[in-house]
Amino acid sequence: MDLQKLLSLTRKGIDTYNLINDGDHIAVGVSAGKDSLSLLYAMKHLQRFYPKKYELSAITVDLGLGNLLLDPVKELCRDLDVPYYIVDTRIGEVLFDIRKESNPCSLCAKMRKGALNEKAKEIGANKIAYAHHRDDIIETMMMSLIFEGRFHSFSPLTYLDKTDLYVIRPFIFIEEKNLISFSKKMNLPVCKNPCPVDGNTKRQYTKELLEKIYEENPGSDKCLFHALTDAGLKGWPEAIKNPRYSNK
């Protein structure tokens, strides 16, 4: 995927669900993985011509595992002229040394989001952008069905009433394979996930299950995605029909 296509699909997500307003200060949650670095790159380049003006910052929550090398990310943010903040935490110690969690993902996500939200408020941001893409949204739906018995996935726009922040997900129409190719093409400074349970989670199980379904049933990924976006799920904003994207 080239930059033009990335920006086109990012804008489609933003316009379809009205994710940005004039005067927004958007904090991009940067894990230093391919998805979040691609989102930061897209949001910066989109900022230059998008009709609604917004301010941009980047925030990384460091779990404190001691193996997250962020100097290349700092350099990227300097090149993009985006203010970059690192939040140092002891989340890794709490999860793996103190609590010795065997299934830490849910608690880890809650603690990371709490730290990110706090920093976003501190720097004056009113929105946080996450790099969840189309595959993430389908995987979350399948996990909810399999493990929780409900039809659900995260929304492209969520209001957090406790913190008065909005969470936006501009990559809703972008496939993971395209982000892999884009990050390689742009030589983005992707860091290996430092979590010791990476690749051994319910999400990884669901991802592999879906890959098998897609292989045996070509086109099923599109069917699952449309079933989700057309379901009128509680909390999802109404999609804005735009002729600009009717053939994309």
Distance from C-alpha of 173 to C-alpha of 19, rounded to nearest angstrom: 13
**To which residue do tokens 């002891």 refer?**
90
Phi-psi region of 158 (alpha: psi -120 to 50; beta: other; left: phi over 0): beta
Tell the burial category of 54 from Cβ atoms under 10 Å away from its Cβ (0-12, 13-18, 19+).
Answer: middle
Amino acid at 168: I
Phi-psi region of 24 (alpha: psi -120 to 50; beta: other; left: phi over 0): beta
Q: Parallel, antiparallel, or unpaired: how do β-strands 54-62 and 84-88 relate?
A: parallel
Distance from C-alpha of 184 to C-alpha of 176, rounded to nearest angstrom: 13
Give the pLDDT confidence score for residue 40 in this predicted structure: 98
Chain Cα centroid distance, residue 30: 9
8 A C-beta contact, residue 43 and residue 129: yes
Paired with 62 in beta bridges are 88
Distance from C-alpha of 76 to C-alpha of 70, rounded to nearest angstrom: 10
Torsion over CA: 218, 224, 225, 231 (sign): positive
Strand, coil or helix: what is 203? helix
Residues 6+ apart with CB under 8 A from 91: 61, 63, 64, 108, 111, 112, 115
How far is the first Cα of the chain from the last one, in angstroms, to the nearest whole number?
15
Tell the burial category of 206 from Cβ atoms under 10 Å away from its Cβ (0-12, 13-18, 19+).
Answer: buried
Question: What domains does the chain contain, in order, with CATH numbers?
Answer: 3-237 (3.40.50.620)
Give the pLDDT confidence score for residue 200 in this predicted structure: 66
Residue stretches of the chain with pLDDT short of 70: 102, 198-200, 243-248
Mean pLDDT across the chain, nearest whole number? 92
Residues 6+ apart with CB under 8 A from 223: none
Give the pLDDT confidence score for residue 245 in this predicted structure: 67
Using alpha carbons only, how large is the chain's radius of gyration in Å? 18
